[in-house]
Amino acid sequence: MLEKPSRPYLIIGSVSTDSEGNVARAVHDQHADAALIYTESSYRTGTVAVAGPGVVWGIPLTHSDASAQLIKYK
């Protein structure tokens, strides 16, 4: 469940990116006070096969997306 801040705020922009680290960078670059992440998803994009003598296994590759609103407290 999304919990909104308890004090008044203004939405000053939004960001859609491939990681939460980039959301944090957007907060810093846009001089926002915080970000409200409203969607975050991770999905499988493929598999890497790794093999050794008599052993083969797959490592899943994933991609993440995050969307957030940048806010500034009043």
The rounded distance, in Å, linking the Cα atoms of 7 and 33 is 12
In a 10 Å sphere around its CB, with 0-12 CB exposed, 13-18 middle and 19+ buried, how is residue 61 labelled?
Answer: exposed
Q: Pick from 25, 7, 45, 6: which is nearest to 68 by CA? A: 25
The confidence score (pLDDT) of residue 12 equals: 94
The confidence score (pLDDT) of residue 13 equals: 93
Residue 1 has pLDDT above 70, yes or no: no
Could you report the per-residue pLDDT of 12-62, keeping only the tens digit for each?
999 999 888 899 999 999 999 999 888 877 778 788 888 888 888 888 887
Q: Vertex 8, ends 33 and 23: CA angle to 5°?
A: 30
Residue 65 has pLDDT above 70, yes or no: yes
